[in-house]
């Protein structure tokens, strides 16, 4: 019998399975691939019932990494169930029984018994303060432990402690409140290699008195590379003057799409230059060859034309407009309908809209910069991923943002934030619109490029220390699950400005490792109302209002610039705005006059 996969007590395999996350790909013509499939599933369900396995569903599919081609090797019988404390031995025995049954009937397919919380996205929560001195000490020690491995990202957040989950009588509809546990999340290209699973990291944490921290190893090929179609309603708002904050943007002639965060004014050589800001990777791509030099003034103006909306989003908008027209034509069988006339007029307006926003004025060249605190403490550099668009005559960007409650915020200032505290924030982006979330007090470490593997762990070499594979820091953000159970920054939201909520931006200090309400289950994909740990602990919200006059009560401060996300754990990442501004001024030899610097908040 093949070696059982028992690396995770709440995910047991009849053989070593690909490390999560994996894609579930349907098998075309399943009955031809597996004759008598229905009877085999019935037999497996009988085994599950005999062992009192509380499963939600059973299906057969390819289970593999997104960059892997389906083959018989990845055909898996997947059983989504509820893991409860103390049931690990039963799960192992059940998988062995199912594997033996398959062997007897001549089927050589994998079996995967997995807890429902792992079958999809995981929910994470922020740290309110840097309890474990992660930013200044622990993160660098962890990085040194895995220095020769192909890790992509490392973060410390709170994650559900599945192993301590108690009985849930109403599964899968409702579950008892889970407990959360501080967890170091590793994303690595070589996560399937045995050296990630040898307990050396856990042993180290125990040796320094941090045995309460768990670790989670996940497969991650590259940092933040995904794409998502634009929201059609949000997209339609981009065809107006001035260009709204959070609109779609991209380089002419390419399908790359991101968010136009907002407007910047730069004073240079006695002149004020109007600019827009987004991410460098949105306009110039991700390759180190394209990014090796900062791009300024005339060279860029002639090379990269920036459009809003982007080319791909504009095509989508026109496609939707034509669909509406065809639908109305079928409905009315004539051209006399007012709705049809309006739809045709709107299509013509979209086609004729001048999408040329301007040209690239400057972009970050180095992947990281040394912030004052990181220089003092010997930490990794802050990530840098910004680009400026010089606006064409007649083009401008609105510096206001209207939230779903129709409150308008003016965005004309930026601020610094403490690196060891949590904050409430919001943003306006091309994909998900206005969403609210939290900055965790614990930062993330990542690498943009990973050295090629050799024998075993990546060999330590001079190339490893080069610019594009060195560790870099960024702030970690999680969504407000009261609003929606998706990333705070979704693909296409890159380039969004992260704003401090002017009525409630500070999170109280204190540990969050406590029970809270979260009724999510496989049959209930929406996150129900829940009490955040800090509110349960403190007895209510701890409002912290920005120091401003009554007339400034609707002012929001820019805290950072978003640039990436992690779908598996619903994490998002940003660069501090004060660091971005400092680098803009260094690259352009100019002075940012708007937004204005309001100092450090919190």
The per-residue pLDDT for range 38-87, each reduced to its tens digit, is: 899 999 999 999 999 989 999 999 999 988 999 999 999 999 999 988 89
Helix (H) or strand (E) holding 584: helix 577-588
Q: Which of 69-83, 183-197, 448-462, 516-530 has the lowest mean pLDDT?
A: 516-530
**Contact (Cβ atoms closer than 8 angstroms) between residue 77 and residue 43:** no
> How many CA atoms are closer than 13 Å to the CA of 460, on its beta-carbon side?
5
> Strand 75-81 relative to strand 110-115: parallel, antiparallel, unpaired?
parallel
The answer to whether the bond into 21 is cis (omega within 30° of 0) is yes
DSSP 200: H
> Strand 555-566 relative to strand 247-251: parallel, antiparallel, unpaired?
unpaired
Q: What's the pLDDT band for 368 if we cut at 50, 70, 90?
A: low
Residue with tokens 């996205």: 121
pTM: 0.86
The per-residue pLDDT for range 439-498, each reduced to its tens digit, is: 999 999 998 777 665 544 554 444 444 555 788 899 999 988 765 667 888 889 999 999
**Contact (Cβ atoms closer than 8 angstroms) between residue 191 and residue 219:** yes
Q: What's the pLDDT band for 399 if we cut at 50, 70, 90?
A: very high
Q: What's the pLDDT band for 163 if we cut at 50, 70, 90?
A: confident
What is the structure's pLDDT at 31? 84
Judge whether residue 412 has pLDDT over 60: yes
CB contact set of 246 (below 8 Å; sequence gap of 6+): 234, 259, 260, 261, 401, 427, 428, 429, 430, 433, 434, 496
Q: What's the pLDDT band for 524 if we cut at 50, 70, 90?
A: very low
Whole-number Å distance between alpha carbons of 150 and 191: 8
∠ CA 151-446-121, nearest 5°, is 80
Q: Which of 8-22, 267-281, 534-548, 550-564 has the lowest mean pLDDT?
A: 534-548
Judge whether residue 416 has pLDDT over 50: yes
Q: What's the pLDDT band for 292 if we cut at 50, 70, 90?
A: very low
Please give the residue that has the higher pLDDT: either 173 or 237: 237
Judge whether residue 375 has pLDDT over 90: no
How buried is residue 163: exposed, middle or buried, by Cβ count under 10 Å (0-12/13-18/19+)? middle
Highest mean pLDDT pick, 111-120, 200-209, 453-462:
200-209
**Contact (Cβ atoms closer than 8 angstroms) between residue 308 and residue 238:** yes
Please give the residue that has the higher pLDDT: either 525 or 601: 601
The CATH architecture to which 5-118 belongs is 2-Layer Sandwich (3.30)
**Contact (Cβ atoms closer than 8 angstroms) between residue 363 and residue 351:** no
Q: What's the pLDDT band for 530 if we cut at 50, 70, 90?
A: very low
SS (H, E, C) 225-289: CCCCCCCHHHHHCCCCCCECCCEEEEECCCCCCEEECEEEEEEECCEEEEEEEECHHHHHCCCHH
Give the tokens for residue 413: 């200032």
Q: What's the pLDDT band for 540 if we cut at 50, 70, 90?
A: very low
The alpha carbon of residue 268 and the mean position of all alpha carbons in its chain are separated, in whole angstroms, by 36
Q: What's the pLDDT band for 512 if we cut at 50, 70, 90?
A: very low
Whole-number Å distance between alpha carbons of 263 and 274: 7
What is the structure's pLDDT at 468? 53
**Contact (Cβ atoms closer than 8 angstroms) between residue 382 and residue 472:** yes
Please give the residue that has the higher pLDDT: either 2 or 309: 309
**Contact (Cβ atoms closer than 8 angstroms) between residue 473 and residue 381:** yes
Cα dihedral 558, 561, 566, 571 in deg (nearest 10): -20
Work out the widest C-alpha separation in the chain, in whole angstroms.
83
∠ CA 512-479-258, nearest 5°, is 145
Judge whether residue 405 has pLDDT over 70: no
What is the structure's pLDDT at 317? 93
- Please give the backbone phi and psi of residue 291, each rounded to the nearest 5 degrees, phi first: -105, 0
Domain boundary assignment for the chain: 5-118, 124-225+398-601, 232-363
Cα dihedral 320, 326, 331, 337 in deg (nearest 10): 90
Helix (H) or strand (E) holding 393: none
What is the structure's pLDDT at 33? 84
């Amino acid at each position: 019998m093949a070696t059982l996969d028992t690396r995770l007590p709440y995910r047991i395999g009849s053989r070593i399975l690909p490390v999560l996350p994996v894609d579930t790909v349907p098998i075309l013509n399943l009955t031809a691939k597996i004759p008598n499939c229905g009877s085999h599933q019935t037999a497996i369900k009988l085994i599950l019932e005999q062992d009192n396995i509380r499963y939600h569903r059973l299906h057969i599919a390819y289970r593999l990494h997104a960059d892997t081609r389906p083959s018989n090797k990845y055909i898996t019988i997947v059983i989504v169930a509820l893991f409860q404390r103390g049931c690990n031995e039963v799960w192992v025995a059940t998988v062995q029984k199912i594997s033996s049954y398959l062997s007897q009937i001549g089927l050589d397919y994998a079996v995967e018994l997995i807890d429902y919380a792992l079958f999809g996205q995981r929910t994470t929560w922020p740290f309110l303060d840097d309890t474990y001195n992660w930013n200044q000490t622990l993160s660098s020690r962890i990085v040194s432990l895995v220095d020769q491995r192909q890790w992509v990202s490392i973060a410390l957040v709170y994650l559900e402690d599945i192993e301590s989950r108690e009985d849930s009588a109403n599964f899968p509809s409702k579950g008892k409140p889970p407990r959360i546990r501080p967890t170091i999340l590793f994303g690595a290209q070589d996560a399937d290699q045995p050296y990630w699973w040898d307990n050396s990291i856990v042993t180290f944490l125990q040796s320094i008195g941090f045995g309460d921290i768990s670790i989670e190893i996940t497969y991650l090929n590259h940092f933040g590379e995904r794409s998502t179609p634009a929201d059609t309603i949000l997209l339609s708002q981009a065809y107006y003057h001035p260009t709204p904050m959070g609109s779609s943007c991209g380089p002419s002639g390419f399908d790359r799409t991101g968010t136009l965060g907002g407007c910047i004014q730069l004073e240079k050589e006695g002149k004020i230059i109007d600019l827009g800001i987004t991410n460098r990777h949105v306009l110039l791509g991700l390759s180190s060859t394209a990014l090796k030099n900062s791009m300024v003034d005339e060279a860029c103006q002639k090379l990269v034309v920036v459009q809003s909306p982007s080319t791909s989003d504009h095509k989508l908008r026109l496609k939707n407009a034509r669909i509406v027209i065809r639908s109305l034509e079928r409905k009315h069988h004539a051209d006399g309908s007012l709705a049809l006339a309006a739809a045709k007029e709107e299509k013509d307006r979209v086609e004729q809209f001048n999408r040329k926003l301007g040209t690239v004025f400057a972009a970050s060249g180095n992947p990281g910069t040394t912030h004052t605190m990181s220089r003092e403490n010997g930490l990794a550099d802050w990530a840098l991923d910004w680009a400026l668009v010089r606006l064409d005559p007649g083009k401008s960007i609105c510096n206001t943002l209207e939230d779903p409650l129709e409150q308008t915020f003016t965005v004309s200032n930026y601020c610094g934030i403490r690196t060891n505290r949590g904050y409430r924030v919001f943003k306006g982006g091309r994909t998900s619109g206005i969403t609210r979330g939290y900055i965790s007090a614990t930062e993330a470490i990542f690498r943009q490029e990973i050295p090629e593997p050799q024998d075993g762990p990546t060999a330590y070499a001079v190339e490893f220390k080069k610019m594009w594979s060195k560790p870099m820091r960024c702030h970690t953000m999680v969504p407000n699950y009261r609003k929606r159970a998706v990333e705070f920054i979704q693909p296409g939201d890159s380039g969004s400005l992260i704003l401090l909520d002017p009525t409630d931006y500070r999170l109280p200090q204190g540990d969050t490792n406590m029970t809270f309400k979260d009724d999510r289950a496989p049959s209930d994909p929406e996150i129900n109302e829940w009490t955040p740990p800090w509110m349960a602990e403190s007895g209510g919200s701890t409002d912290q209002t920005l120091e401003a006059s009554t007339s400034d009560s609707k002012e929001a401060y820019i805290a950072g610039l978003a640039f990436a996300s992690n779908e598996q754990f619903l994490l998002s990442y940003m660069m501090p705005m004060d660091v971005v501004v400092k680098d803009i001024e260094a690259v352009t030899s100019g002075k940012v006059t708007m937004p204005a610097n309001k100092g450090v908040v919190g």
